[in-house]
Amino acid sequence: MDRISQLPEFIIHEILSCINGSPTELVRMSVLSKTWFHLTASFPHLYFNMDDFKSRETFFKYIEYTTSRFCRQDVVTARTFKIVTTIHEHAELDIVNRCLELVFKKGVKALEIDITRKFNRYRLPNTLLSVSALKSLTICGCELPSSFKVNVVKFKSLICLKLESVSLDDEVITYLTASCPLLKDFHIKYCHGFKRFCVYRHQNLQKVVISYKTRVERIDIEAPNLCTLGVLDWAKRGAPQMNLASCKKLTFVAYYGCPLPGLNCFTDFLSNFPFIEKLLLSMNYKCNNLKLSSPSLRTLLLDSQCDLEEIELSTPNLVSFNYLCNLRIRKPRIHKPWISDPTCLNACMRCYPNGCIDALWFQKWRRFLDKKNKFKVLNLYVHAAYSQKFEELEKLKALELPPYELEHVELQLESHEESLAHIAFVNAVLWCCRPRSLTFRSSFSFEEQSDVVKFTYEKLLEQEDQGHTNIKIVSPSSSLLMALLREEKAIRYIKEE
Instruction: Give 34 or 487, the one with higher predicted confidence.
Output: 34
Give yes or no for a contact between 489 and 470, defined as CB atoms under 8 angstroms apart.
no
Instruction: Give 434 or 17, the one with higher predicted confidence.
Output: 434
Give yes or no for a contact between 349 and 377, defined as CB atoms under 8 angstroms apart.
yes
Phi, psi of 399 (to 5 degrees): -65, -35
- Residue 43 — pLDDT band, cuts 50, 70, 90? confident
Give yes or no for a contact between 45 and 12, defined as CB atoms under 8 angstroms apart.
no
DSSP 250-281: --EEEEEE---SSTTHHHHHHTT-TT--EEEE
What is the percent of the chain where pLDDT is above 70? 82
**Mean pLDDT estimate for the chain:** 82
Mean pLDDT of 306-319: 86
Closest by alpha carbon to 259, among 245, 272, 246? 272
DSSP 110-167: EEEEEEEESSSPEEPPGGGGG-TT-SEEEEESEEPPTTTTTSPP--TT--EEEEES-B
C-alpha dist (Å) from residue 282 to 127, 305, 328: 41, 9, 8
**Cα gap 295→304, rounded to integer Å:** 22
Residues 6+ apart with CB under 8 A from 171: 149
pLDDT digits (tens, 9 = 90+) for 154-213: 899 999 999 999 999 999 999 999 999 999 999 999 999 999 999 999 999 999 999 999
pLDDT digits (tens, 9 = 90+) for 122-143: 999 999 998 999 999 999 999 9
**Cα gap 288→360, rounded to integer Å:** 17
Which pLDDT score is estimated for 342? 43
Listed ranges 194-208, 388-402, 429-443, 476-490; the one with the highest mean pLDDT: 194-208
Which pLDDT score is estimated for 339? 44
Residues 6+ apart with CB under 8 A from 400: none
Which DSSP state fits 50?
G
Lowest mean pLDDT among 132-146, 326-340, 411-425: 326-340
**Cα gap 398→150, rounded to integer Å:** 73
Q: Is the pLDDT of residue 434 over 80?
A: yes
Closest by alpha carbon to 257, among 291, 215, 298? 215
Instruction: Give 357 or 321, the one with higher predicted confidence.
Output: 321
Q: Alpha-carbon Rg of the chain, whole angstroms?
A: 29
Q: Is the pLDDT of residue 288 over 80?
A: no
Residues 6+ apart with CB under 8 A from 331: none
DSSP 333-397: --SS-----TT--SEEEEEEEBS---HHHHHHHHHHHTSS--EEEEEEEEBS--TTTSS-THHHH
C-alpha neighbours within 13 Å on the C-beta side of residue 105:
11
Closest by alpha carbon to 366, among 340, 327, 397? 397
**Cα gap 297→252, rounded to integer Å:** 9
Q: Is the pLDDT of residue 64 over 70?
A: yes
Asked if residue 476 has a cis previous peptide bond (ω within 30° of 0), the answer is yes
Q: Is the pLDDT of residue 335 over 50?
A: no
Give yes or no for a contact between 57 and 91, defined as CB atoms under 8 angstroms apart.
no
- Residue 414 — pLDDT band, cuts 50, 70, 90? low
Listed ranges 30-34, 48-52, 223-227; the one with the highest mean pLDDT: 223-227
Number of Cβ atoms within 10 Å of the Cβ of 131: 23
pLDDT digits (tens, 9 = 90+) for 381-412: 766 555 445 555 666 766 778 889 999 998 88
What's the length of the chain? 497
Q: Is the pLDDT of residue 338 over 50?
A: no
Which pLDDT score is estimated for 417? 64
Which pLDDT score is estimated for 448? 63
> 404 forms bridges with which residues in the sheet?
433
Q: Is the pLDDT of residue 482 over 50?
A: no
**Cα gap 361→458, rounded to integer Å:** 24
Mean pLDDT of 278-306: 84
Closest by alpha carbon to 100, among 121, 78, 118? 78
Q: Which residues of 102-130 are buried (b: 16+ CB within 10 A; e: fewer)?
A: bbbebbbbbbbbbbbbeeeebebbbbbbb
DSSP 201-235: S-SS--EEEEEESS---EEEE--TT--EEEEEE-S
- Residue 445 — pLDDT band, cuts 50, 70, 90? low
Mean pLDDT of 37-50: 82
Which pLDDT score is estimated for 309? 81
Which DSSP state fits 305?
S
